[in-house]
A and B are shown apart, each in its own frame.
Chain A
Amino acid sequence: MFRRLAAWIDDRIGGSAFAESALSKVFPDHWSFMLGEIALYSFVVLVITGVFLTFFFDPSVAETTYQGDYEPLQGVTMSEAYRSVVDLSYDVRAGLVMRQAHHWAAIVFIGALVLHVLRVFFTGAFRRPREINWVLGVTLLILALFNGFTGYSLPDDLLSGTGLRIAYSIALSVPVIGTWLAFLVFGGEFPAQEIIPRLFVTHIMIVPAAIAALVSVHLALIWHQKHTDFAVGPARRESNVVGPKLWPTYAAYSVGLFFAVFAVIMAMGGLVQINPVWLYGPFRPAEVPSPAQPDWWLGWAEGALRIFPPWEIRAFGYEVPNPFYPGVIVPTITFGALYLWPFLEARFTGDRGPHHLLDRARDHPVRTAFGITALSFFVLLQLAASNDLLAHWFDASVATISWFFRIAVPVVPLVLGWFTYRLMVALRASGAERFAEMPLRAVVRPAGDGERPAVAEATAAPVPDGELTVYPEPDGRWRWRYRRPADDLELHSNKSYVTADDAEHSARQAFPEAPLVSSGD
């Protein structure tokens, strides 16, 4: 059956060669390489649940009177948008699970994106030849954050309206063009009627289409360039990829992961309440929710807005208002630095060569230290966004909490970065395989170059490389294998070749230095 279908397609559009190499494509299966897959699959869940929601959501700010099942809102005047979200939660069967799953999926999606970016950053996977994919990835992150915000704003409840209010004020703060920018985006002075329908089209069509397109290119490039891998053991080299084949093993892993992502998100969608807009009430311009935080992915920007001192520039009759600095400058620097990092690093290290094997954190102490500095900076800003809640919980003054962050945000990341640098240098010098195995004194008094402790590779006797063998299969096609008895290691070529020469060529490409013994068994 499969053969007949494959033949039918191959007769018409070809593609057998591609299909063969695709099915036997090798994927390294280190767990951290699946973070990006979590993001991919939560995006799929976002699309599935989102399509369901579009059938019920009404992006209209026309006024209506609520007559649904939720008693505290009965007879209350509200927008059709808000009414339709409350109806989705109360009157549409399975609607609430879908709505909540959609929101949880967004939280998991962007979280997985951040973890994925961190993995790529700390392992140096962005280096040549993968700079293009890094740039695509950062763009995807920005699009995801943006679509997260537009989604948060759609229900037209009190919390989301307040978020829009702040977004409008940030747009207004841009020098020279701010008022035009705010008026064109929102359709006029806040709260203009146009913004909800505009956000809707942006949220369900424009940005998701852009994300889907960029994800396709991102994946195509990963496919084409093949995945990076850690330099573990003798087999993994710049010139090869080692792991299970796509069909059937990696496909089973990946489909399994899709179902796991789907399962976790749907379970949370039913079991953990998120964004209960019926409690927040409809948006009214003179009311304000409290506490008022954005979804977590904008927490860092909210934190910056909260703790930024009351400074602004006013000169010659013009002003650059306070929200511009935390609300525009900080994100611009953040994403600018993310975009440029691969190019900056190549420039400052002078390392412009191709890399397919990954770094460990210690291999590049400056990069690791910079990453920790940036990460702790954003984590602290994230915490600062909860200064009012922290004040309530710890029974402290909001001012004290804010001042703590005003000092900690610039200071703590630098201290942590410096400490990380020392730690990574010491770890590298100690030659310990694992972090926990590093002797404590190596941190306290890192060895200088002169007294560097014996490193494993300096003392260990050179191990001979494994042997390559090209061998025929029963059907007459050829494979090769790499064998190193010293490690009890045997790897096979992922696919078979028509001629022994092709197989040999492939083997030599994968293991250039290994000796080829005569074609055996």
Chain B
Amino acid sequence: MRPGRVAVLTALVPALVAGACSYFREPEPYRPPASYGRPDAEALALGQRLYQRDCSFCHGNEGQGTPQGPDLVTGENGPALTDFMLRTGRMPIDDPDEEARAGDSPYDGDEIAALVAYIDDAFDQPGTDIPVVDPADGDLAEGRDVYAENCAACHATTGIGGAMLAQRGGKTTGVFIPDFARTSPTEVGEAARTGPGAMPAFGPGVIDDGELDSLARYVEYLEDPDDRGGAPIGRIGPVAEGAVGWVLGLGVLVVFIRWVGTKRGEEAR
């Protein structure tokens, strides 16, 4: 073997091994975010500034709501819901008619904490605090049961999201159901407890705190489940399987018989 190739191989093998190891490596153990604790004056001031700049136009100076946006002082409104909406980038939106969708948040962690603290402190919200969710305490099988009973119908059995309908203003409109990509355990807990948007809330009477840990663990698992069978082809079930069967299975075989058999013009006439 030439020296050049040896060098390439010696570089390649550790790279491959490292790649394989990182693929199979256990994910970092999950740490719940530090509790916000008593907000200090500085944080409240920052929160107020951000609120007046980005939120008050729709939600009102006192969180009382306006024609552009709902109030922040009734129902499930509380730190958990505020944190969920901000952390997942659903809020703020530029246009009140825009649907709130997950995305990148324009705020950093401190800014989100300041906003959550300010809104709760200023408007005396009735809703729940940010739940403390620790998947490490959860049980995967229990989480699977909770998920199957309460979540799978909407978010899909494999967590890929879905679609449903709402009659809004006499019109049938679509409701987009998100998947769980990049959803942290705390966000799972916040969503379950508060029911943001079209989602119903699940209180401790239906999913208790231990079950919530388990649920968060199963949702985390669903983001990268055991695809023992090979390429997961989207985990959407028979639709993808049928398409792959036709394109890959029958496709290859039709090409094969095209090769084996004759076509017009090449047969022994």
A35, B229: Cβ atoms closer than 8 Å:
no
A270, B163: Cα distance in complex, Å: 32
Q: Does B250 contact A (CB under 8 A)?
A: yes
Partner-contacting stretch, out of A12-20, A395-403, A424-432: A395-403
Q: Mark B237-258, 1 if CB is under 8 A from A, else 0.
A: 1110111111011101110111
Q: Does B221 reach chain A (CB closer than 8 Å)?
A: yes
| Contact assessment for B227 and A273 in the assembled complex, using a CB-CB cutoff below 8 Å | yes
Which of B69-77, B119-127, B152-160, B192-200 contacts the other chain? B152-160
Segment 285-325 of A: residues with Cβ below 8 Å from B? 286-297, 299
Judging by beta carbons under 8 Å apart, are B249 and A104 in contact?
yes
Question: Is the CB–CB distance between B163 and A289 below 8 Å?
Answer: no
Q: Is the CB of B229 within 8 A of A100?
A: yes
Distance in angstroms from B158 CB to nearest chain A CB is 5
In the complex, how many residues of chain B place their beta carbon closer than 8 angstroms to a beta carbon of chain A?
65
A487 beta carbon closer than 8 Å to chain B: yes
User: Closest CB-CB distance, A316 to chain B, in whole Å?
Assistant: 33
Contact across chains for B162 and A296 when beta carbons are under 8 A apart:
no
Report yes or no: B228 in contact with A90, Cβ–Cβ below 8 A.
yes
Q: A271 is contacted by which of B162, B230, B256, B262 (Cβ under 8 Å)?
A: B230
Instruction: Please name all residues of chain B whose beta carbon is closer than 8 Å to the beta carbon of A272 when the two chains form the complex.
Output: 229-231, 233, 244, 248
Segment touching A, from B31-39, B105-113, B140-148: B140-148
Which residue of chain B has the shortest Cβ distance to A491 in the bound complex? Answer: B268
Q: Are B245 and A232 in contact (CB under 8 A)?
A: no
- Select from chain A the residue with minimum beta-carbon distance to B250: A111
Q: Given A264-B249, A290-B154, A31 and B174 touching (CB < 8 A)? A: no
Q: Confirm or deny: B264 has a beta carbon within 8 angstroms of a beta carbon on chain A.
A: yes
Interface of chain B residues 161 through 206 with chain A (CB within 8 A): 161-165, 172-174, 176-177
CB of B233 to closest CB in A, whole Å: 6
Instruction: Decide yes or no whether A108 CB sits under 8 A from chain B.
Output: yes
Nearest-Cβ distance from residue B168 to partner chain A, whole angstroms: 11
CA distance A74 to B172 in the complex (A): 42
CA distance in complex: A275, B143 (Å): 21
Docked CA distance A257–B256 (Å): 8
Q: How far is the CB of A75 from chain B (nearest CB, A)?
A: 5
Q: CA–CA, A436 to B241, complex, Å?
A: 34
- A residues 264-292 with Cβ under 8 Å of B? 264-265, 268, 270-276, 278-281, 284, 286-292
Q: Say if the beta carbon of A156 comes within 8 Å of chain B.
A: no
Contact A284 B269 (CB under 8 A): no
Residue B93 CB within 8 A of the other chain: no
What are the residues of chain A within 8 A of B244 when measuring CB–CB? 268, 272
State whether A280 touches B161 (Cβ < 8 A): no
Contact B256 A89 (CB under 8 A): no
Pick from B173, B176, B237 the residue with the most CB of A within 10 Å: B237
Chain B residues with Cβ under 8 A from A279's Cβ? 157-158, 225, 235
Residues of chain A within 8 A (CB-CB) of B250 are: 38, 108, 111-112, 115
- CB atoms of A235 and B269 under 8 A apart: yes
Which residue of chain B has the shortest Cβ distance to A287 in the bound complex? B148
Neighbouring B residues of A233 by C-beta, 8 Å: 267, 269
Q: Indicate whether B226 reaches chain A with its CB closer than 8 angstroms.
A: yes
- In the complex, what's the smallest C-beta–C-beta distance from A249 to chain B, in angstroms? 11
User: Residue-by-residue, is B128-149 near A (CB-CB < 8 Å gives 1, otherwise 0)?
Assistant: 0000000000001101110011
A73-108, CB under 8 A of B: which get 1 and which 0?
Answer: 111100000000000011000001000100110011
Q: Are A35 and B257 in contact (CB under 8 A)?
A: yes
Q: Given the complex of chains A and B, what is the CA–CA distance between A281 and B141 in angstroms?
A: 10
Task: Please state if B158 and A295 are interface contacts (CB–CB under 8 Å).
Answer: no
Q: For residue B256, which residues in chain A have a CB less than 8 angstroms away from its CB?
A: 257, 260
Is residue B236 contacting chain A, with contact meaning CB distance below 8 A?
yes
CB of B51 within 8 Å of the partner chain: no
Flag A106-121 by CB within 8 Å of B: 1 or 0 each. 0110011001000000
A30–B241 touching, CB < 8 Å: no
Cβ of A71 and Cβ of B141 under 8 Å apart? yes
Q: Give Cα A284 to B162, complex, Å.
A: 21
A233-B269, A279-B225, A391-B174 known; A72 vs B143 contact (CB < 8 Å): yes
Interface residues of B in 204-231 (CB under 8 A from A): 218, 221, 225-231
B-side contacts of A487, CB under 8 Å:
269
For A33, A103, A279, A296, the residue with the greatest tally of chain B CB atoms inside 10 Å of its CB is A279
CB–CB B261/A291 < 8 A = no
Distance in angstroms between the alpha carbons of A90 and B226 in the assembled complex: 11
A257 and B237 contact, CB distance less than 8 A: no
Residue B260 lies at the interface, judged by CB distance under 8 Å to chain A = yes
Residues from chain A with Cβ under 8 Å of B235 in the complex? 276, 279
A276 touches B174 (CB 8 A): no
Known: A295-B242, A388-B162, A388-B163. A274 touches B257 (CB 8 A): no
**Known contacts A115-B250, A392-B161, A295 near B269 by CB under 8 Å:** no
- A172, CB-defined interface residue at 8 Å: no
Measured in the bound complex, the distance between the Cα atoms of B141 and A71 in whole Å is: 7
* A29: contacting residue among B231, B252, B262, CB under 8 A: B262
Measured CA separation A158–B211 after assembly (Å): 22
Contact across chains for A30 and B269 when beta carbons are under 8 A apart: no
Nearest chain B CB to A145's CB is how many angstroms away?
13
Determine whether A167 belongs to the interface, using a CB cutoff of 8 Å to chain B. no
CB-nearest residue of chain A to B155: A290
Question: A230: CB under 8 A from chain B?
Answer: yes
Which A residues touch B254, using CB under 8 A? Answer: 35, 115
Residues of A close to B103: CB separation below 8 A: none
19 contacts between A and B (CB under 8 A): A30-B262, A33-B261, A35-B254, A37-B257, A89-B228, A100-B230, A107-B246, A111-B245, A253-B260, A272-B230, A272-B248, A276-B235, A281-B157, A290-B156, A292-B237, A296-B245, A297-B242, A399-B165, A400-B174
B binding-site residues for A, Cβ under 8 Å: 140-141, 143-145, 148-149, 152-158, 160-165, 172-174, 176-177, 218, 221, 225-233, 235-239, 241-246, 248-250, 252-254, 256-258, 260-265, 267-269
Q: What residues of chain A have their CB less than 8 Å away from a CB belonging to chain B? A: 28-35, 37-38, 70-76, 89-90, 96, 100, 103-104, 107-108, 111-112, 115, 158-159, 230, 232-236, 242-243, 253, 256-257, 260-261, 264-265, 268, 270-276, 278-281, 284, 286-297, 299, 385-386, 388-389, 391-392, 395-400, 487, 489, 491
Further pairs besides A72-B140, A279-B157, A291-B156: 12, Cβ < 8 Å: A29-B267, A112-B253, A115-B250, A242-B269, A257-B260, A272-B231, A275-B237, A287-B152, A289-B152, A289-B157, A290-B152, A290-B154
Q: Which 5 A-B pairs have the closest CB atoms?
A: A296-B242, A233-B269, A397-B174, A273-B229, A31-B261
